[in-house]
Amino acid sequence: MIASFLIALNIVIFVFVNYLYFGSSNLDVILGLNLFLFQGFYWQILSSMFMHGNWAHLILNMIVLFQFGSMLEKYLKSFKFALLYLIGGILCSLLSAFYVYLSFDGSFVNVVGASGAICVLMGYYAYLDKTATKGLIVAILLMSFVPIFMGVNVAWYAHIFGFLCGYVLGKFKVIR
């Protein structure tokens, strides 16, 4: 139920931002995660998790959210699953914001996508199912770095931070 709701919410926000919003064309900058966060745009920590760069980005993320979200929601039940997704996603956004701040020397970088929060789910699942851990690590590395070699701009650090956050949340039984 929550995984389906998150998928629907991501789709509705994508359509709204890209096709229905007739105001400022800077909505992606206002809602994406960027250096404006440090100037008081604190909602970006959460809103960036629901923004996507294009249809392919959205569809790929929603497929993986459906796959891992469905399994983990059955295991954790809806409320704990929602907590895992939101707490993990927020932690991942914070880590990504500080990484961008420290690494890009003031250059403007706008991070969007549910990938970090979805990678939290993958990391949590990797902790729960030890037989899947190596395969999931390979998957995270492939989805993080192969697109870069193909010239696609990917926030690889959000994937890594998300996976690590999910694994740690599982290991320390923060959400169980």
* Segment 112-162, tens digit of pLDDT: 999 999 999 999 999 999 999 999 999 999 999 999 999 999 999 999 999
Count other C-beta atoms under 10 Å from residue 43's C-beta.
11
Q: CB-based contacts of 17: which residues, under 8 Å, 6+ apart?
A: 27, 28, 31, 51
Contact between 33 and 112 under an 8 Å Cβ cutoff? The reply is yes
**What H or E segment, with its residue span, contains residue 34?**
none
> Helix, strand, or coil here: 170?
helix
Q: What is the rounded distance in angstroms from the CA atom of residue 140 to the CA atom of residue 155?
A: 12
Tell the residue number behind the tokens 């740690």, with chain if given. Answer: 168
Closest listed residue to residue 89, CA positions, set 69, 60, 63: 69
- What is the distance between the alpha carbons of residues 97 and 69, in angstroms, rounded to a whole number? 24
How does pLDDT run across 26-72, given as a tens digit for each residue? 888 999 999 999 999 999 999 999 999 999 999 999 999 999 999 99
23 — pLDDT class (breaks 50, 70, 90): low
Range of the domain at 59: 1-175
The total number of structural domains in the chain stands at 1
Predicted pLDDT of residue 24: 57
Q: CA-based angle 75:1:81, to the nearest 5?
A: 40
Which CATH number goes with the domain that contains 125?
Answer: 1.20.1540.10
Query: Average pLDDT of 74-83?
Result: 97
